[in-house]
Amino acid sequence: MKKSKKIVIKLGSSLLTNKKGGVNKSVLKNVVKDIVWLLNLKKEVIVVSSGAISLGKGKLNLNNDLTLNESQAVAARGQIELMTAWQNEFKKHKKQVAQILLSPSDIKNKKSSNNAMATLKNLLNFNCVPIINENDTTSTDEIKFGDNDVLAAQIAKLVQADHLILLSNVDGLYKEPPKNNKNDNLVLEVRSINKKIKDMAGAANMIGLANLIMGMNLPVHLRLMIPIVDNNLSANSYRPGDIFTARNGKTVEIGNTDAEGRLILADVLAAACEVKPDLIVDFATLTGNRALGSVVSCFSHDIKMTQKIQDCGIKCEDHVWSMPLIKQYSSLFESDVADLVNITNLVMDCGTATAAMFLNEFVDKEVPWVHCDTLGYNPRSMPGRPKGGEALGLRAFYHFISDWCQT
C-alpha cells in the first residue's frame, strides 16, 4: 500500500445502511476517517457507493418488494440522502466530495469513458473525493445485479488504480451458514486453497445464485438442491469395484472413489427431473474445469441456450463458454458389470466433457438442463477479481434467468 497512488474503495448497501433504512453512521464515520488518513498520505481515493435504494425505501417508508421501475424511482430519492451523508461526514475533516452517476455503458463507450476519466482526473486534482454510484434512472444493470462490484472493477480498470478494495459485512469464509453464533464455522485463516475448499465452489455458486434470485424477487418458482458428501475413509465407504444403484435405478460401477461428486449430483438431477421443471441448472467442480480454467464450461443439448448464456456473460464481463455434449463419449462409460462406470480411463485429458456426459445419463431428455463445470478460483489477480475463490459464472446466469423470465 505504501507505493500505491490510486485506490478505489467500494461499499455495499448492507454495510452502509441499517435495518431501519437509514445511514449506518458508525460505519460511515470510520470509513471516512480511514479515507482521510489515506488522503493525508497523498493517496488518490475514489469511492463507489451503493445504498441509494435502501435509503430511499427508508425515507419513503416502503417495506415491500419493489418492481424495477419502482426501484429506479426510490433510488432517485435515496441518492440525495446518500450524498448528503457522505458530504456531511467529509465536511468534518474539511474535505470536499463530488457525485458522479455512471452506468456500464458509459464505461464501455470510448467517448463516454474518456469524458468520465477526464472528470475523475480533474476532481482528484481539485482534492475532491469522487463518490460514484450507478445511474439507476437510465441503467438497470446494477439494480438487476444487486451491487456495484462490477462498476467498481470497471472504474479501477479505467483509472488504472493500484488497489481495488471491496468492503463487506461478511466476517469471512464459513464452512456452513452460522446458526446461533456468527462465529460458528468461521474459518479465521485460509493458508492455502486446497482441493476441499475448491470443491465447495459448485454449492457456493448455487447458494449465491439462489440468494440473488430471491433477493431481486424474480418471478420464478425456485427449488435449490445441494448434494453434499464428505470424501473420507470409513468402514462403510465404497471401494473400487463396488456397484452403486442411483435414484433412477441405473447401476454404476465405481472405477474411482475420488469421483464421488458426480454420483451425488446424478441422484439430485434425477430427483429434480421428477417434478418436470422448466429448467435445471447445476454447478459443480467435478474436474476443476480442466477444459477452460477460470472460464466456466456450460454443457447442454440445447446449444442455442448455452450460447445465450455465453452472450449474457460477455455483457456483464463474467465469461462462460458454450460447450457441446458429445454423444460419442457415452460409450466410454460402458461397464461389464453395471449400466455404466463412474469415470473413464482416457489417456487424453477431456474429463470435463466426459463428466458432463456421465450426468447426462441421469437427466430426463424432455427437461431443459445446463451443466456447468467450474474451477471456482481465480489463479491470478485482476481488477475486481482478486486471486482466490470466485463465484465464476454467477452473474452470467443471473442475467440469463432474468431475461428468460421475461420471455
Residue 178 lies in a domain: no
Domain total of the chain: 2
Q: Is residue 176 part of a domain?
A: no
Same domain, 353 and 302: yes
Asked if residue 305 belongs to a domain, the reply is: yes
Residues 87 and 217 in one domain: no
CATH number, domain at 104?
3.40.1160.10
In tens, the pLDDT along 204-261 reads 788 888 888 887 888 888 999 988 777 777 777 888 899 999 999 999 999 888 888 8
For residue 71, give its domain range.
Answer: 6-167
Q: Same domain, yes or no, for 157 and 50?
A: yes
Quote the pLDDT of residue 146: 43
Do 379 and 246 share a structural domain? yes
**Among 114, 144, 167, residue at a domain's last position:** 167
In a domain, 190, yes or no: no
Contact between 281 and 372 (Cβ < 8 Å):
yes
- Are residue 349 and residue 281 in the same domain, yes or no? yes
Banded pLDDT at 141 (limits 50, 70, 90): very low
Check residue 257 and give its pLDDT. Answer: 84
| Residue 38, CA distances (Å) to 2, 54, 162 in order | 10, 28, 13
> Pairing mode, if any, of strands 243-245 and 251-253?
antiparallel
Alpha-carbon torsion (204, 298, 397, 274), positive or negative: negative
Q: Is residue 38 part of a domain?
A: yes
Is there a single domain that holds both residue 249 and residue 365? yes
Q: Calculate mean pLDDT across residues 321-346.
A: 87
pLDDT value of residue 374? 85
Q: Count the alpha carbons within 13 Å of 399 in the hemisphere toward its beta carbon.
A: 22
> What predicted TM-score, i.e. pTM, was given to this entire model?
0.55
Indicate whether 283 and 327 sit together in one domain: yes
CA distance 30 to 16: 11
Q: Is residue 326 part of a domain?
A: yes
In percent, the amount of the chain with pLDDT more than 90 equals 42
Angle subtended at Cα 73 by Cα 132 and Cα 209, rounded to the nearest 5 degrees: 70
Domain of 211, CATH number, reads 3.40.630.10
